[in-house]
Amino acid sequence: MERSQKKQEVLSLRGDINSAQVVIVVHYKGLTVSEVTKLRTMIRQENACFKVTKNSLARIAFSETGFKDLDNLFSGPTAIAFSKDPIAAAKAVVKFSEENEKLVLLGGMVGGTPLTVAGVKALANMPSLDELRAKIVGILSTPAQRIASVLQAPAGQIARVLSAYSKEKQNG
């Protein structure tokens, strides 16, 4: 790789990292091309990204970001998963690593906080932003539904009473 290509790669990686909320570093040694493709697909479905990195370039790129504390994880065949959603990348990587022991979690960082392997797994078990938003909407809409049903109940009761009264009058 020429010097200009290396600079471009560092700038590209730095741009990707700066827009991310979470970065997870993994070893992928022994994964076949089809397994890496499956992993990339899983990660893409979670709106996250997966990139195989050259360690020296990754250290340079990370040195000027909020994720610089991860530089000690870059040794051996490393790759990174990252996303704007703090949970998305963790979910996909942890799920794949449980299915395939060749993908080894090394650690990560979310919002400036370093994560151990256990921390990455705990992050993966949390609900995603979309799931949390759906729960909030459900919580907020439930009282409105209850109010509507309470307001409709008296009108329904009055209608039934009037109906019964009119039937009584007709029959008797």
The per-residue pLDDT for range 84-136, each reduced to its tens digit, is 988 888 999 999 999 999 999 999 998 888 889 999 998 888 877 777 788 88
When comparing pLDDT for 35 and 151, which is higher?
Answer: 35
pLDDT at residue 153, as a whole number: 64
In this structure, CATH architecture of domain 3-126: 2-Layer Sandwich (3.30)
Residue 144's pLDDT band (boundaries 50, 70, 90)?
low
Sequence-distant (≥ 6) Cβ neighbours of residue 59 within 8 angstroms:
71, 74
Beta-sheet strands, E only, within the chain: 22-27, 49-52, 78-83, 104-110, 113-115
Longest C-alpha distance within the chain, in Å?
A: 102
pLDDT at residue 4, as a whole number: 86
pLDDT at residue 118, as a whole number: 92
pLDDT at residue 16, as a whole number: 87
Residue 24's pLDDT band (boundaries 50, 70, 90)?
very high
pLDDT at residue 51, as a whole number: 92
Per-residue pLDDT of 49-77, as tens digits, reads 999 989 989 888 888 888 888 888 898 89
What predicted TM-score, i.e. pTM, was given to this entire model?
Answer: 0.73
CA–CA distance, 140 with 78 (Å, rounded to integer) = 44
Sheet with 113-115: strands ordered across: 49-52, 78-83, 22-27, 104-110, 113-115
